[in-house]
Amino acid sequence: MVSSNDGAERERFALLDGMRGLAALAVITDHVPSTLFTTLLPGRYLAVDFFFVLSGFVLAHVYSRRLTAGLSLLAFMRVRVVRLYPLYLLGAATGAVLMALHIVRGWNDASLAQLATSTLFALFMLPCPPPASLWENAPYPLNGPSWSLFFELFINLIFALVAPRLTPRLCLMIAGIGAILLVPTAFGFGQLDGGFAWSNFVAGFPRVTFSFFAGVFLYQTRSHWRLPALPAWAGYLALAAVFMVPATGVWRSLYDLVAVLILFPALVALCSGSDVRGAVAKVSSVAGTLSYGVYILHVPLWGWLQLVLGRLHLDLPGGLDVVLTAGAALAIAAVLHKIYDTPVRRWLSLRQTPRAALARD
């Protein structure tokens, strides 16, 4: 995930910021059990594909010219790791401490050795092999949503490698390869909700390949668009509507393909030029700023909330549990943005080479 104000480029995509925040909240409903929200948002997992489109669009905006002008692959990847690592590390550490408590108290059958190996792989942002993982099918057992960061960095690497030669035609070809592979992925797994487990890990590659390079293509060709810009209310409603469409069986696979291949790129195209002002612009900006923190912290935070609620003998309805987790995630992300994430990223950026430091966000 990236924010549309990453880097030194100052053009703002306020509505896209806010829509990223909305998508992050939708992801919470995929991890906190709730019959209400599961029924209301059957396509909530597609928020990750929307993130990938936004990532391609924004990184093309911020870094295409710099990579073409000579920003090295190593410097670019350092910038990306610095952007993601502090909150990622905090989420993994929070999950590790929670898991250690469960193991010591006998609430979980996993071993401290598995916790140690899972933590070691997490430190390097790498998926943990099944035999060493706390859960055999979990590449990122300490904090599940971290799986998408692996694919984000993978596609960032590919982008940096081809950026100096990346014409719209080549970009479309790469996205086309991803699109072709999405078809057997969607029908083979029954939907496009894949990449988070070893049993469906391979699905993450076509998901990120198509969506990221679709976003890059949209940015490269935006000067040629003659599309109307959606007002903020329409953009938010349209994104929510994509997550709300019910479908089962083969229709689920087909709808997921339509959402990823058509609807999300269209939404980014229609909302990137939206003129958002006043209170809506401020809320959208804050939502975008906090979206990554909400996304990467909400699962271990929910685990701790469940522990506290259990000690208090409180059993909340699923819908209320989602609301509580979302509110807590937003509040904690806001605090950490000020006192932890921004200062740590600034410190890490200053320790980079001068060339990399110039590219920091």
For residues 195-212, average pLDDT: 98
For residues 3-10, average pLDDT: 48
Q: Which residues contact 241 (CB under 8 A, 6 or more apart)?
A: none
CA dihedral for 9, 158, 142, 86, sign (positive or negative): negative
Say which range, 57-61, 145-149, 319-323, 356-360, has the weakest mean pLDDT: 356-360
Q: Which pLDDT value is given to residue 12?
A: 79
Residue 2, pLDDT above cutoff 70 = no
Q: Which pLDDT value is given to residue 360?
A: 47
Q: Give me the half-sphere count of Cα atoms (radius 13 Å) on the Cβ side of residue 261.
A: 17
For residues 68-76, average pLDDT: 95
Q: Which pLDDT value is given to residue 352?
A: 65
Q: Which pLDDT value is given to residue 1?
A: 63
Cα 169 to Cα 66, 97, 108, 135, 175: the distances in Å are 20, 48, 52, 42, 10
Q: List pLDDT tens digits, range 234-246.
A: 999 999 999 999 9
Q: List pLDDT tens digits, range 282-294.
A: 999 999 999 999 9
The tokens for 48 are: 């990750």
For the chain, the average pLDDT equals 94
CA distance 111 to 105: 12
CA distance 208 to 211: 5
Q: Which pLDDT value is given to residue 3?
A: 52
The residue with greater pLDDT, 108 or 144, is 144
Residue 7, pLDDT above cutoff 50 = no
The tokens for 328 are: 């807590």
- Say if CB 6 and CB 288 are below 8 A apart: no
